[in-house]
Structure 1
Amino acid sequence: MSSGTRSRAVLASLGTLGLALAAASPANAAAGTPTTPTQLFNGYRHCSTDADRPTYLWAGTGLVVEGIPGTTDSTDDSRVSVRYQAWPVADPTRITTVTRDHATTGFEAPATLPADALADGQTYAWQAQTVAGGAASDWSAPCYVTVDNTRPTNAPTISSPNYPPDAWNQGGEPVTFTLDAGGVDDVTGFQFSWRQDLPVIGTTIGDHGIPQPVDPYSDTRYFKRADAPGGSATLSLVPPGGAGVMTLWVRSLDRAHNGSAITSYTFRVGSTAPTVTPAVPSPEFGEPTEFTLRPDAGLQSKSPVVAYSVRTIGGQSDKTLEVAAAADGTAKMKLTLDGIHGESLRVTSTSANGWVSDAASWSTSYDTTPTVASDVYPENGSGGGVGVPGTFTFTPKVKDVVSYTYSFNGAPEATVAADAHHKATVDWTPPTDGFHYLTVYATTRSGIRLAPYDYFFAVN
């Protein structure tokens, strides 16, 4: 239920929709005697048959009540009606009746009790019966509901003993939060998130239209029950991102899951990023290089680093590697860098208590274009002439080159094999004078196409 509109989300499966459409066939006469509806729900939550423990529900636009009608003939899929009666527990003579006509046996048959018949703060009983032709089943046992259309008047208060809001804090241990109802007696719990848009409380609809309500407090990622009505709750959370300005968003929930205004707690966490050090200052393309990963000292003192996540960026096939740490929090790994212009790493550490650091970045760049030379047609110069052949020599800047692919003036590409020294030469005779250009790239033994190089020259 969102705090702004108090709307309830009901998620219907396509299978349920298909069954409901299939049930919309012309009405048939009931083959059996009507039986008392089963699977009773109110506001998509379970019916309570205990008058001393009613279900608390918001009913500002009415209250959906429902049950599955049936007959004594188990094969009967005919149309029937379901009649619902509701009355204030304090005055059983004030009965409100609503009917769901054209209901199908075996499927939930919802109807809405009108909002003007339901007073805020009052407890109501309701029951259901199946009607077919001139016959009616027995009434179901009453369900008890207390209407609560008033959300908590105060937002909760939030405090943290280990991450105060007015300083940069050393990260590494979970944040302890204390949430307090702020003097609102009917608050039963809290909803929280690291994002301002809090999740919607909803109910999934299962087969035959049967609601499948779940206690929101079973999802400990976003909900925490108060220690008593109007009380408080303590959270222990690892913030996302590892460093920077963090904000936790919180609202109180009453027994009907009405939400209070949302409040927040903002604090700051200093960087806990690891360090990344290659074995050589400038790793070469295609050469296996060992990297040493070291934890942030302050982080390590809070909880030992047990693993690193290493993401490669700019290589032939970017990947994420998980690397286990030694007892002192360090780790070593080997990588072969194969990005044709360079490559970078983003490394985060994970501590034993679940803390994930912010990312350390490391990068390098290198030139994998071939060197091109010509004695007749110098680069960015002029020479030769129309019909005068020139030799162009290709030399690699990286290891293990096996061929070169080239094109003059955008013509179709051609490929020449490299010699034993990984070089190659080609001869070319210009058909015209003036400006010309050559584009060439090398290919390695493993099939990597390296960066292209453009060679410009003029023909006399």
Structure 2
Amino acid sequence: MHHLSKVAGAVFAGVLALAGSSEAALGAPRAASEPPSFSVAVAGVGLPSRISLTSEAAGVTSFDYAVAGGRAAAVPAKDGAAAGNIVFPAAGPADVTARAYAGRRLVGESTQTVDVSDVPGVSSDEFLNPDVTPLVGTTGTFTFTPHARGVVKYYWWINDGGAQEVRARHDGTAKVSWTPPADVSAKYELFVQSVTAAGAQSARYDEWVRIQDPRPGIEPAAGTHEVGEPVAVTLSNGASQATGFVYSFDGGPQQSVSGAAVTVQVTPSHAGDALFTAQTVLAGGTRSKAVTATVTVTDMPQVSVVSAYGQTQPVATEPTTFTFTPKVPNVVSYQYTVDGDGPHPVAAGPDGTASITVIPDTGQHSLTVSSVDAAGVVSDARDYEYTSLDPRIEVFAEFGDGAGEWGFFSVLNDLSPVTVAYHWSVDGGPEHVTPVDPNSGGVTDLEYRPALSGTGTVQVQAEYNDGTLSAPAGITFEVG
């Protein structure tokens, strides 16, 4: 009885083993408890790609793997790891399933989606090397590597240029040479497609090619440039070989300066366009092609202002003197307009300057002036826009707390920078003098404690730095 029991058990175990083997072959394994890990180095379409498998489960003796819908390939395991080749029939996402076994026992199963591409590989020691950026005009090579089976040629082109064809060698690779145009500083975009013997074209390779233009960047300072006034010009070049620059301005002598980004000063001597020309100096002393920038220069005269109380901004209702200073030699006169009235002539003195005096009212105004030299040449016109300062003062009162409580008068004044004090009196009473803080910002508070409620009056005058007083400003106020 004991013997029969042993035989029956052995037969039953054999049936189980056979069943497990059949399930694995049919692709219907038992539930995975310890799934393996794997990675695939995709070589392309129809080419052997390398799959690496690992499992942390004890006693793993083999793996198998397959692309969805394909036959499984088995490889033996050593120390829980194995590797093999896998071939993808088409580009696009592909599901790969791997299984780990301990003997005939399924240890675990895992599935990953792998992105398969037939875009050719492209390499270049000169143009696609992160450690090297060549100069425009440098000749280098591109090497094309197939990522599909049976590649016989490649199409390649730069930017919007026409496609060029290159035949592949027996191993499917190809090599082409290229020289970035020396007179172009645009970006370069490389496109490559492989073609199989059956005529199938791959997806396109698309990559920007890093190039350094050795020519300098020239950037004159923004704004208006005037005769006799220095102009800042910035020179720059990002090429690793750049050591400095040589430049000349308006036909003058050549100057040199060191550095990859520097700012120099030049001074124009005439109106119109003046040319600034520069070259980058490269390691070893070679120079780039020259680049020229235009600096536009004006000869319009300068305008300075002196008004009442020493103000350099016109003061309304006060005489204001505008002085014209030439930017060119031999100026004998000026022609000007004020708020569109003119032009009016004014003779220049021996030093070429001239002055006019006007009495502006409040608000916005414009003055336009050009110089005239002895040959009758008229300069560019300067448009001088200005707003007249208002000499009137404004007074506001705040006495909401009633009689016997402190309140204040607020005085607003455009001429506060030249106001030294305010003279003020309430209801014809004694005069108070309050000094003005020069940093008041145009507003000064005059503190006052009214003795009675009701209506009151206040009169205020500004005292300026020359001792004169403004016209009095008065208001009526209420004490609650």
Question: TM-score, normalising length from structure 2?
Answer: 0.26
Question: TM-score, normalising length from structure 1?
Answer: 0.27
Q: Which has the higher contact order (CA 8 A, sep 6+)?
A: 1
Larger Rg: 2
